[in-house]
């Protein structure tokens, strides 16, 4: 499976932009789209998670050895709301199973998170 295009649609936080309604309906450019190609300026990004992750050339926070103790991502993942726990679950799944296994499941979702 050639997943390069789909991998860049995995948000640093664990959201899967490819299936996000805001992204698919062109209300959002996606978490990383444009930053990789330098069409968008990462220094102007407001998301601390994105700036940290992308400045280290990580696909997501799953690539970071400091993930378990990172205050930025852990604070985000503990926000109230179901989706935040699902984003955390995505990062943990990627750590344990890798990006290709994640994409096999995530490409079947109807939104930016789903069941494993």
pTM given for the model: 0.91
Average pLDDT, stretch 55-78?
96
Residue 83 has pLDDT above 50, yes or no: yes
Q: Rounded mean pLDDT of the chain?
A: 93
Give the Å distances, CA to CA, from 18 to 5, 40, 75, 82: 10, 18, 24, 19
pLDDT of residue 1: 45
Q: Which of 47, 57, 56 is nearest to 15 (CA)?
A: 47
Residue 2 has pLDDT above 80, yes or no: no
Q: How far apart are CA 52 and CA 65, in angstroms?
A: 13
What are the domain boundaries of the chain?
4-106
Average pLDDT, stretch 34-54?
92
Band of pLDDT at residue 40, cut at 50, 70 and 90? very high
């Amino acid at each position: 499976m050639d997943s390069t295009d789909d991998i860049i649609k995995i948000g640093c936080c664990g959201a899967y932009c490819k299936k996000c309604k805001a992204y698919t309906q062109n209300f959002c450019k996606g978490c990383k789209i444009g930053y990789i190609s330098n069409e968008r300026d990462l220094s102007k990004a407001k998301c601390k998670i994105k700036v940290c992750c992308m400045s280290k050339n990580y696909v997501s926070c799953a690539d970071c050895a400091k993930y378990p103790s990172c205050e930025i991502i852990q604070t985000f993942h503990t926000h109230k709301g179901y989706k935040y726990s699902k984003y955390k679950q995505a990062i943990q799944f990627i750590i344990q199973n890798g990006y290709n296994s994640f994409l096999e499941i995530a490409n079947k979702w109807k939104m930016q998170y789903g069941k494993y």
